Amino acid sequence: MERTTTPPGRTDEWRRGWPLVAAAMLGIGTGPGLFQNLSSLFTPGMMTEFGWTRGQIATAAGLGLAGGLVAPFLGRLADRIGIRPVIITAMLLLGAAYLGFANMKGVLLHYQALVLCLALSVPGTSALVYGKLIANRFVVARGFALGIATSGLSISTLALPPIVALVIAAYGWRGGFVALGILVVGIALPLVLTAIRRVPTGPTRPDPDSAAAHVPVEGLTGAEARRDGRFWRLGLCAAMVNIATVGLVTQLVPFGLDRGLAPAQAALLLAAFGASQIVGRLLMGILIDHFRAQTMAALFAIVSAAAFVALQLETPGFVLLMTLVFFAGLMNGAEHDLLPYLAARLFGLRAYGEVYGTFLMLSLAGTATGIVGMGRLHDAFGNYALALALAAGALVLAAVSFLSLGDRPLPKGKAAADAEPAQSSPGGGGGGPPPKAVVEG
């Protein structure tokens, strides 16, 4: 039965939920997003050995991300079978993909197929699984908990570039991929499973004949969410943010070299981007626990758009370039906190996996567009000026779309065995508290 309670205080939530947040930090921090942020460290070695161009590598990576099309279906699967098996499968697939990269023979199709495997592992190493667990465990401190959890990728992006660069210098780019595989399967997976062993990870929309089907869960079904215009506008925000910011991070080292930086300085641009992700996630998490999330999102998007405009300066110098990369990446950090927060706030937890999975698909579509576009536009024009201008425009569009997302009351919780099709409610409104129905596991 549903138990609607007065939410516990922040201290109580953190006392019960910190192992879950720690697991989420580790799982997200070692997911495929890490390679996405470190990929420019591997690009020079592959270009030298295989004769590939930046545009060819970017296109192969972008096309491989078409695997994100299955994210809504994997999210629906997580709603029905639970989260633990999805996490295990995804992390094993990711480790296998890294070993595949280490054994490439120079065939672009091979590279593309392995990026497809990376994309297929995203749902089980992202806020699709961890965001749902955190949204169910945290109410008062939900934004900050999500901010800390999703900062795992930011921390790994900040900490690991020098280490991975040393491994590549000592053992080649193939050795770098092996090291990433060991990190995921040998270290992260056992620690994640240990940390969530007492966390309820069962289905929220199970088969109607199962025992779990009688536990009511608040929120819209996937079909109801898709009939809501806010659903698609939030998906547009995710795509636009990733077109801009992921396109940039996958070209940061070559971009820095084009601006006259030494290789070591160019690699530090990745650290600046990683730092921006940490600050973006944590600051956004704090702010959305106290202020309207949509307004904060628009503000961050405008700040990042301005940084993209400033990055078009031809000789900004190392310090200014580090600063601009930091502000350009700020919205990328904030988005990873915002998407799971707004998915739970606007649409509830009933079909969270399916809903967030669709946002993840649209986000990956933006990622693929940004990766391919940034590399191809550089090849076509010999510089990044047009790509940076288009990225700034995408972030402005995201800001406008965030502001259009009104809050509406969620339907009361229903059990999967008893639920009837519901009509989506019209209208919009101001801010409101996130869902407070508690699902017992």
Kind of pairing between the strands at 3-4 and 437-438: antiparallel
pLDDT (mean) for 301-327: 91
pLDDT (mean) for 410-439: 45
Q: Is pLDDT at 430 greater than 50 in this prediction? A: no
Q: What is the largest CA-CA distance in the chain?
A: 65
Q: Is pLDDT at 139 greater than 90 in this prediction? A: no
Contact partners, residue 22, CB within 8 Å, separation at least 6: 195
Pull the structure tokens for residue 252: 């940061």
Question: Within 13 Å, how many C-alpha atoms sit on residue 437's CB side?
Answer: 22
At 226 the pLDDT is 92
At 7 the pLDDT is 52
Beta bridge mates, 414: 217
Whole-Å CA distances, 328 to 8, 166, 391: 37, 27, 10
At 3 the pLDDT is 44
At 413 the pLDDT is 54
Give the closest residue to 255 by CA, choosing from 304, 301, 307, 314.
Answer: 314
pLDDT (mean) for 286-307: 94
At 30 the pLDDT is 94
Angle made by CA atoms 6, 7, 9, in degrees to the nearest 5: 125
Pull the structure tokens for residue 109: 């199709």
At 429 the pLDDT is 40
Q: Which residue has the higher pLDDT, 176 or 112?
A: 176
Gap between the Cα atoms of 262 and 401, Å rounded: 39
- Cβ atoms of residues 250 and 40 within 8 Å: yes
Beta bridge mates, 217: 414
Whole-Å CA distances, 185 to 87, 161, 411: 11, 19, 40
Q: What is the percentage of the chain residues whose pLDDT exceeds 70?
A: 85
At 72 the pLDDT is 83
Q: What is the pLDDT of residues 182-208, one digit of tens each?
A: 999 999 999 999 998 888 766 665 554
3-state secondary structure of 4: strand
Gap between the Cα atoms of 369 and 244, Å rounded: 9
Among 64-73, 118-127, 261-270, name the one with the lowest average pLDDT.
64-73
Among 54-63, 88-97, 426-435, name the one with the lowest average pLDDT.
426-435
Whole-Å CA distances, 345 to 139, 338, 350: 10, 10, 12
Q: What is the pLDDT of residues 331-351, one digit of tens each?
A: 988 888 888 899 989 998 888
At 423 the pLDDT is 40
List, in sequence order, every beta strand (DSSP E) within 296-379: none
At 251 the pLDDT is 86
Backbone phi, psi, residue 386, to 5°: -65, -40
Q: Is pLDDT at 141 greater than 70 in this prediction? A: yes
Q: Which residue has the higher pLDDT, 396 or 290?
A: 396
Confidence of residue 2 (pLDDT cuts 50, 70, 90): very low
pLDDT (mean) for 369-376: 86
In which residue are the tokens 């295990």 written?
A: 88
Confidence of residue 222 (pLDDT cuts 50, 70, 90): confident
All structural domains of the chain: 3-202+213-407 (1.20.1250.20)
Pull the structure tokens for residue 246: 């992921």
Gap between the Cα atoms of 61 and 57, Å rounded: 6
Q: Is pLDDT at 236 greater than 70 in this prediction? A: yes
Backbone phi, psi, residue 219, to 5°: 135, 180
Q: What is the pLDDT of residues 392-424, one digit of tens each?
A: 999 999 999 999 999 888 776 554 444 444 443
At 435 the pLDDT is 44
Q: Is pLDDT at 4 greater than 80 in this prediction? A: no
Q: Is pLDDT at 436 greater than 60 in this prediction? A: no
Gap between the Cα atoms of 334 and 283, Å rounded: 8
At 408 the pLDDT is 85
CB atoms within 10 A of CB 7: 17
CB atoms within 10 A of CB 100: 17
